[in-house]
Amino acid sequence: MNMKKQGKHIRKWGKRIFTSFLVMWFLALVVFFVNPNQSSKFLESVLGVQQVKALFVKKQKPIPCEEFITHAWQMNDDVAAYWKHSRETGLEKDLTFINDIRAAYHKGEIELIEPTKHYEIDTMWYSFAFAKTHVKTFLDTLALRFQANLKQTDLEGTRFLITSLLRTKSSVARLRKNNRNAIKNSSHLHGTTFDVSYATFMGERSYNEGEIQHLKEALAKALFDLRNEGKCWVKYELYQTCFHVVVKKQIPAEKAA
């Protein structure tokens, strides 16, 4: 057989093989659609379950990650929103030195803010544990709301931490040397304002990162609700890891259930 005839013979067999393959593929498709369950079992026995799934199961598109919007991110009240009310309902004049705090306390203009079973007072280098009476009432209300959000969890009884309260002109001047966010005409001068940490909580044990986030959200939820009720302004501070809270006057007290 010469080369020309041999090539013709190979092409002829190639066409037959290709045609046979197409016919078999067509028949296989017909059988599959007529009895897909039986066909699937046959393929699984030959190829394996994973390979069959890879052939016939439609791949799901990955669900894009979405950032969880917490209550904290929704509270961003600025100075313009609360400064006028704070000035009008706070101390008549800003205090300059510690002796001025003592005088205001004896006049009944401010109250001493002491730790309770629901919150602690931090060691404060630039402020003093005093505030207007309605701030003390608000703190007690916030504590009850916070505990209600922790009800029936192993975090119940955790105390939040107050990190800043009343400031004097001299303490603000010292603070501004070390804190770029501090402002000269701070509402902390009025006795209407406090900062509460969302990164540090007090209890009978230490807390892991997940528990800290849960406590932060419980505190944020309590503040968010009080803010929506028109009882305060709140700013979520990132640099200082605290909620900056300015309290509106005439807050009705709440009683524990």
- Averaged over successive runs of 10 residues, the pLDDT of the chain (257 residues) comes to 59 70 62 59 54 56 60 93 95 95 96 97 95 97 98 96 97 85 88 98 95 97 97 94 94 59
Pairing of strands 111-112, 130-131: antiparallel
Coil/strand/helix, residue 248: coil
Considering only CA atoms, which of 163, 185, 161, 162 is closest in space to residue 172? Answer: 185
pLDDT at 116: 97
Q: Tokens 């009705």, residue?
A: 252
Tokens 């659609």 sit at which residue? 33
> Which structure tokens are listed for 160?
């939040």
Contact 200, 242 (CB under 8 A): no
Q: Which of 223, 147, 148, 235 is nearest to 188 (CA)?
A: 235
Position 74 scores a pLDDT of 92
Label residue 59 exposed, middle or buried (CB < 10 Å: 0-12, 13-18, 19+).
exposed
Contact between 77 and 248 under an 8 Å Cβ cutoff? The reply is no
pLDDT at residue 14, rounded to an integer: 65
- Decide: 237 and 245 in contact? Cβ < 8 Å: no
